[in-house]
Amino acid sequence: MSRPRIVFMGTPEFAVASLEACFDVGDVVAVVTQPDKPKGRSGAPIASPVKERALERGLPVLQPQKLRTPPFVDELRQYAPDVCVVTAYGKILPKDLLALPVKGCVNVHGSLLPRFRGAAPIQWAIAHGDTETGVTLMVMDEGLDTGPMLATKRLPIAPDETSATLYPKLAALGGELLRESLPRYLSGELTPTPQPSEGMVLAPIIDKEDAKLDFAKSAVELDRRLRAFTPWPGAYTLLSGKVFKVHRMRPASGKGEPGAVLSAGPDGIEVACGEGSLVFLDVQPEGKRVMRAADFLSGHKLQPGSQPFSS
């Protein structure tokens, strides 16, 4: 049996392991990735990690500005794909593209569907306090991560997990899932099954406002959110009207008016929350470097009972 012809669509580092898996199970005839984006102070365009890997393999790389422009589907048609594999490409695929490959388009999604449909499943799994996540291989339809499922692989979420530590684990798991399940799907051994009708949770795109610490929430929830939003957008509050980032903290059992300073000393800055308290360990005042909270306090006095922080 000849190896399947695969068109791969993906963009960030998360997708590279899936691309590597496709090299193992078929012939990758083309790679589609987002256009190069300007980065850094120079504003020079930077290729995506997927593009870099594809060029290393000498593969054709397509970077359409828009997928819905009819000539792009015509361009893709010349590669005669048996299947299109999509991992974190970054755009919704139009109907004509979904219908182009013989076996349709399959997607590696970074959650156990239908939980966390959307752009940021990894972050929201941590933010919601889930103890388990995983990856799902599904056949794509026109909806947002609504297609029928082919297979899943599960992974525990560690108590101190951050998005930064979970990303590479799930990326590797996605590659394993493709190696195990894509050949079985293409041979007809795996049949797509509809997603469960219950348990759907959305995972919307994350923005800077999600980093704002709302001390009315519980300390446990705010700690989860910091871990979920590490490395970006992190967590911050306002101190005297200026951004005060918190890079590391731990939940504690202190009680008080939400936002009130309970203690400030060598062990950190303890702030009351809606339930429990948070101890700030590593902080970054606006315009300054990251420092230990104790070092910050050597030049800034915070009185217990005061409410210097605002969200």
Q: Minimal CA–CA distance to 243: which of 265, 282, 212, 221? A: 212
- Pairing relationship of beta strands 242-252 and 44-46 according to DSSP bridges: unpaired
Strands 61-62 and 27-32: parallel
- Find all residues with CB under 8 Å of 254, minimum gap 6, and list them: 262, 263, 270, 272, 276, 277
Q: Do the annotations mark residue 262 as ligand-binding? A: no
Per-residue b or e along 122-149, where b marks 16 or more CB atoms closer than 10 Å to that residue's CB: bbbbbbbebeebbbbbbbbbeeebebeb
Q: What is the pLDDT of residue 222?
A: 98
pLDDT band at 51 (very low <50, low <70, confident <90, very high): very high
**Residue 222 token pair:** 């705010």
Q: Is the pLDDT of residue 42 over 90?
A: no
pLDDT, position 182: 98
Confidence of residue 310 (pLDDT cuts 50, 70, 90): confident
CB 8 within 8 A of CB 22: yes
* Residue-wise pLDDT tens digits, 10-33: 999 999 999 999 999 999 999 999
For residue 73, what are its two tokens?
Answer: 């589907």
Dihedral of alpha carbons 296, 301, 305, 306, sign: negative
pLDDT of residue 282: 98
Contact 151, 180 (CB under 8 A): yes
Confidence of residue 39 (pLDDT cuts 50, 70, 90): confident
Q: Does 67 appear as a known binding residue?
A: no
Q: What digits encode the pLDDT tens for the residues 290-299?
A: 999 999 999 9
Q: What is the DSSP letter of 14?
A: G
Residue with tokens 């009972």: 305
Put simply, whether the predicted model's pTM sits higher than 0.85 gets the answer yes
Mean pLDDT of 28-46: 92
CA distance 35 to 47: 8
Counting residues of the chain whose pLDDT is more than 70, the rounded percentage is: 99
pLDDT at 274: 97
Tokens of 233: 């957008």
Where does the pLDDT of residue 70 fall: very low under 50, low under 70, confident under 90, or very high at 90 and above?
confident
Asked if pLDDT for residue 1 goes beyond 70, the answer is no
Confidence of residue 68 (pLDDT cuts 50, 70, 90): confident
d(CA 140, CA 86): 9
Is 166 annotated as a binding-site member?
no
Q: Are 219 and 278 in contact (CB under 8 A)?
A: yes
Reported as type and span, the H/E element at residue 269 is: strand 268-272
Is 178 within any annotated ligand binding site? no
